[in-house]
Chain A
């Protein structure tokens, strides 16, 4: 979005069409969903609301007291609806930036830059998928369940959490028609051996042509191993500290294995969603 009219100083700007907007978004609500997470609903019509599953925004976080976040903070699109112009983020209140974000009240505004990055893909021959996530990773995966539903693809969501209080997004997954399996640290069901058994069973039942994961290195490694063994399509959404979010600063690099070679890629530009087979441990 061009905030200012500078037609007289930018000859040739006539044909310019932005693909990413720095939208001044208005807060509709910003409420706690559990002890650690808040859901912010923003009025952000235009390009922002066209964000697709897996794409993210770089969000300006207000300065509050001693908290002076200088960079913006990257957040996955939890929901975006071009019809209502609403964009939502589900975020964990962690440090200076997210504390600032948590301070926003309805009617307030902040800038959100996006949609950014490359989102999830659903190849045509993938008819059933498993999404496996933990913590904030579930926020990233929730819109994928809806995208799959809209394409008639069956979804099983494996939701991993420390205990029942930390379970996130289950209603979103169920509303999208997904079968939900909850695995917890508190009762031991989140152990890798159990999650592996669930994945193998789903695959044997013909419910897993695609694997998608976010939010846990160990879960990513497990899915990567099984995807290779069972020849299943897979993607992972990655995180890394960011400054620009637009592929310009090269601070968000991670290593990937592409055709046997280690290659550095920018999470904000080449991702944040990557082929599961290329990911390396983080």
Chain B
């Protein structure tokens, strides 16, 4: 299978003047097409920093990053924006929806910034996907009118709207109760199974890892270990 992501000794150091914070200290990982991978690690271990690098929201201090076959570690700002727009779908812990846009408008936001985007087609697809995640009657609601779980579902549909090569979810259940969190994991899992969407899910909840193909353990900005889950459990 094709490699969607390959990093070589990826490092990110925050220079805070007197102190330097080495958030990611040399991470080499490979994610194959169609994989559902979880990244586990305690708080402050560098998970979000790594996700920001993988999501092209930030640039590495050193190391190489190949996304979908191209080296994106040296791209300039505008090119990175383009990569974010077309190749990456990001799901945040805090949903990050625009409060003044409706559900549908939020989902279509990435299409607006996509030069090749077709709003008409995208709108039909958005409605279809929103309906599939149970938001068929919520197209014109504002985020404030939705529950946390519903907001995260909107965010997932937004992440998928430009048909990215990978979905990166940084603690997507972190702001949700266990039951709602499981529903979100179920959606992410079914997207992987039914549509073959490649996904990385960051979590510090060990119970989530059993639903994924592979778990990468990270601590202090380094990969601590990796375990393959031959038989991921169905989410019920």
Bound pair (A, B): no
